[in-house]
A and B are shown apart, each in its own frame.
Chain A
Amino acid sequence: MTKILRYSLQAFNYAIFMLVVWYFSFNLPYHQLEENEAVVTLSFTHATKLREACRKLSQKELMKLAPNMRLPTDCPRARSPMTLELYLDKKLLTKATVEPTGFHKDQGVNLFKRVKVQAGEHSLRVWMNDDVNIEGPTYSYEKNIVLKPEQQLLIDFNSGSGGFFVN
């Protein structure tokens, strides 16, 4: 085989190889959202209420404990799970029940959830229950929103400043 033919064949093979590299590296689109879609993201951490209130120990119970462990009250560390529902135009968009983290379920709950929605004007409602001892919402929030295509609306939560807010 002549050198020219051999090098031409090599060039052809390199070109095929680089075409594969180029195509899968840069030119195969992935559609994250459909046309006219936006994203609503729920993202927050929250320390839910304790499952049980502190209880005063009886004298009998105290006497069963070692002398240096005799605290007058027993305060279980476990926190309540959190239940949340998100409605858009009065339709349930997503719901979540999240257990507190930690071996003893005594840490906060973390929620991170993304939902694709149609862009446009919507009425948004979200409620949360963070206390197993109360039935129904402990926090709720309503707002009319306008979403542009490809917009990400963040629903955040801070119990110190009144609960839910959008960002």
Chain B
Amino acid sequence: MVDAKKRSEAMPVAGAPAESREAIARARAGESEAWGELYREYAPAVFRLCRRVLPTREDAEDATMEILLKVRDKFAQYDPGRPFHAWLFKVAANHCWDLLRRRRVRQDLELPESQMPPLEHPSADLVERLAAERTSQEVRAALAKLPARARMALVLRYYSELSYDEIAQVLGIRRPFVGVVLLRARHQLRELLEQSAAAGRREPRAGGAT
């Protein structure tokens, strides 16, 4: 329990390679070669993040390039005292969230908080059972079905390891609300996993009947 806390503080942003300070400094000074180095180093990690939050692979590819180009243009805003990857991933997360948000300006399906049904306290058994039985593949399939904000919050938290404060900034919500968003996201995820479990149980039975 204690080491869970320690891990989330100590672990760097997921997938980010070791920093090369010198290349960052040069890229910051506007050297395009250094930027190329940084690109090579960070593009895969940025892509992986984008791939997890955006709906299609093409979206993620485009977004990766756009993010790194954005970084090149915005290098002046980077404070060299802070870790580069943290800044980069914040830019990336903001960019992705922006994309998602812009696409659903009107078809926003998420209900306002006041209209959401109250969450039931989960039984430890159910959570335990789902965690034990579901494969990571099934979890990913369920994640893909989540609403954009829920998925984004989960990815930022459990993939990019952002703090609640950082998530609040990216999603443009108040800090206390982050916990609620994550909680709801997990409930929705559990629901989807249960459904897939039910569907999975039905299928072989139907196959056996014939």
Tell whether A and B belong to one assembly: no
Chain A interface residues (CB < 8 Å from chain B): none
